Structure 1
Amino acid sequence: MTELQRTLPASWYRSLPLYHLERRAVFLKAWYLLGPVTRFHEVGSKVYYEIAQESIYVERHSGTSVLPTVGELKVVHGSTGLELPCHLTPTGLLFGTISQDAPDFYEFYPDLEPLLERVDFTRLPHRRSIKYEGNFNWKTMVDGYQECLHCQYTHPSFSVYYPPTFYTVYNHLNFSQHVADPKKPDDGLFLYFFPNCTLNVYGGGMSSFRVCPTENPNVTRMEFDYYHLESGDKFEEYFKFVRQVAMEDYELCEKAQENLQKGVYNEGILNPVKETGVAYYQNRVFDLVTDQHKLEKLCGGSEKGGGR
């Protein structure tokens, strides 16, 4: 009988030394969705980000066209001033790194660009961005995004449009595609980018969020960006709907983290059909963290992570 996948232990959701190990093993070696090229159209303006205590910004440094080309954009480390690797997809999404330790974009996301061809992101103007903190670990939020067992109960309005009955997650190297109805694969585009970014295209708009860990493993900063073809009432109607879904997840994550902190839950079994997205990303975290821990022990490092 095949052994069922177990979750990461609860200690991984509240340990500061473990987060420091995650930071070195996962965050410093990853690529991040920074947004559609429409976000960076003004020459000389800077859009700032902070991921895993690394500050970066995107700047359009030249050009006269409405939208910049990849040669007119740069991602810069906020502390050192050094330029970091970035990548602009043919359909207009900008990705960047927070350190020089990340691999080549196509090594990290070998299957991604063909999937993005269905959406022209250059047609989606930036409308609004918001951010706030939540009392939960960054993985608590990713757990929720990567499965939809909770959707029928927690997201009744979303479930009307995307019933979870046939909800399927297809996992690729370092990203997952969520499909509400496998018979309608072109009905919306819902993607999770390892380790902490999402992209959701539906209803004439696009929303994305970054799950940004703070120095406190029990506190996470959520950063949301919203893009839409329409402005005014059309956008506000869309914004109200997506914010309702976001706040439902926020409340669920805070309650889940309370249990993780109190010792109510230690670890459990993942549903082999409905929670493959959770299993995939947790395995990625576990493998990268344990490899980093072994490497640092071999090199005589003093940092300690934790066991599974």
Structure 2
Amino acid sequence: MYELERRAIFSKKWLLTTHQIRLPNPGDWLRYQVAGFDFVIAKDRTGVINAFHNVCRHRAFPVVTSDGGNNSILACKYHNWSYALNGKLTKAPSYQDIESFDKSQNSLFPIHVHIDTNGFIWVNMEASEKPTTAWEDDYKNIDKQDRFKVYNFDDYQFDHMWQMEGEYNWKLLGDNYNECYHCPTTHPDIPTVADLSAYAVVTENSYVQHLGRPTPEQIAKGFNVAATFYFPNASMNVSPHFFFIQRFIPKSPDTSIMYYEVFRNKTSSDEDFQVISDIYKRIMSEDKQLCASAHKNIQAGVFINGQLHPKMEQGPLFFQKLVRDVVTDHHKEEKKAGKEIWPARQRLPGDAKASEQDLDFCSSVDCGSLKKEGLEW
């Protein structure tokens, strides 16, 4: 199932990644990983923000090995193939002597980029010229929601990132984030930042808005928060003192990372920022323990499913339906095609007959070895 999710979800859906605040200068770049995909977001010398797979076009070695930096050229440390920050190949040692070699056909594999109204950067890894799903199809006007109108995201600056890795499936994190039915039991800090008596969610397209009615005291302290979940694996909490992007990053079926980028309002005092930052770190640490314990019991082979509350757990029900629909539709496409479909995979040129034959052979061997009903092509 995890590999199917990689093909059906993470290869095709728009993924909220970061904010352009993190790339202020030409040459700035950041490396990200999700579900086995390794990619780079970079600002080129013209100021355009690009994204591409962290895969050298020569022999698939990573072009970058650190988390970020500023460079005019990204050089692979295997055979020194070099690329500009728009992904174009600038140097391939000794290949200038090969008449059939075309530098223009050996740029880094591009990734679609969308920058929304508020400056948030989204990526889509589908290798087609245009993604099957346009950003607007899933998220139209979510960047213009009324709750954001009181914020100017240029008033914030990147402060820090942190992460927690645990033994749980990424979907448990999605379920957990999208309800607060558990909050009175497990999160003693929640009443500080939210009035649970007024808590509700609104589900639409591919997102979940978490709504509340902050008290006058919470508003005065800057604890009022606008929280939104963006399918499949990201959320954002915005407040007067800070906002953070949370990404649920699967590493395997049983291991995930909770990754946080925290941005601070330039006018917030150290005390105001630290108080709310610490509150959320405690809450997320508590969520980690919840998901790890639930995952362990699920893996034991006893529990299949429980009845979710139609109101209190509306968010998880919506999230689970999105996952179910996407993977089911993709699986139907694969059954019809008689092979696995990897939307993010390199598109081979028409004259690459040998490579196509190799792929067909490997696919037939792999699929022929799958003896489970519904997976044998």
Q: Which bracket does the TM-score occupy, shorter chain normalised?
A: 0.7 to 0.9
Alignment of 1:45-64 (within 5 A): 45-62=28-45
Which residue number in structure 2 is paired with residue 78 of structure 1? 54
CA displacement, residues 138-165 of structure 1 (integer Å, 9 cap, x when unaligned): 0011110011100111111122331322
Q: Answer yes or no: is 1:244 the counterpart of 2:282.
A: yes
How far off its partner does 1:25 sit? 1.1
Matched letter for residue 24 of structure 2: H
Secondary structure of 1:76's counterpart equals: strand
1:274 correspondence with 2:312: yes
Q: Which has the larger radius of gyration?
A: 2
Q: State the alpha-carbon separation in 1 of the partners of residues 321 and 374 from structure 2.
A: 15
SS at match of 1:267: coil
Compute the displacement of 1:96 (Å): 1.4
What's the counterpart of residue 100 of structure 1? 127
1-structure distance, mates of 2:117, 2:332? 38
Partners of 2:373 and 2:5 lie apart in 1 by: 8
Counterpart in the other structure of 2:117: 90
Q: CA deviation at 1:189?
A: 1.2
1:189 to 198, 218, 226: 226
Q: Partner of 1:289: helix, strand, or coil?
A: helix
C-alpha distance in structure 1 between counterparts of 2:15 and 2:233, whole Å: 8
What corresponds to 2:176 in structure 1? 144
The yes-or-no answer on 1:218 pairing with 2:254 is yes
**Highest RCO, 1 vs 2 (Cα 8 Å, sep ≥ 6):** 1
In 2, the alpha carbon distance for the partners of 1:137 and 1:203 equals 32
Alignment correspondent of 1:3 = none
SS class of match (2:145): helix
Letter in 1 for 2:191: S
> Cα deviations across residues 280-302 of structure 1 (Å, max 9, x unaligned)?
11111111111111111111123
Once the two structures are superposed, the pairs formed by residues 245-264 of structure 1 within 5 Å of their partners are: 245-264=283-302
User: Matched residue of 1:153: which SS?
Assistant: helix
Shift of 1:257: 0.7
Q: Tell me the residue number matched to 2:89.
A: none
For residues 123 and 111 of structure 2, the distance between their equivalents in structure 1, rounded to whole angstroms, comes to 7
Shift of 1:176: 0.7
- Cα distance, 1:58 vs structure 2: 1.1
Contact 1:135 1:220 in 2 (8 A): yes
TM-score by length of structure 2 reads 0.69
Question: Quick one: percent identity of the two aligned structures?
Answer: 27
Shift of 1:90: 2.1
Q: 1:183 to 1:161 in 2, by over 3 A?
A: closer
1:292 corresponds in structure 2 to 330
CA distance in 2, matches of 1:21, 1:75: 24
Root-mean-square deviation (CA, aligned residues, Å) is: 2.4
Shift of 1:110: 2.1
Consecutive unaligned residues in structure 2, runs of 5 or more: 58-107, 340-366
User: What residue is the counterpart of 2:347 in the other structure?
Assistant: none
Q: Distance in 2 between matches of 1:231 and 1:45?
A: 28
SS of residue paired to 1:287: helix
Q: 2:238 aligns with which of 197, 201, 224?
A: 201
Corresponding position: 1:166 with 2:198: yes
TM-score (normalised: structure 1): 0.84
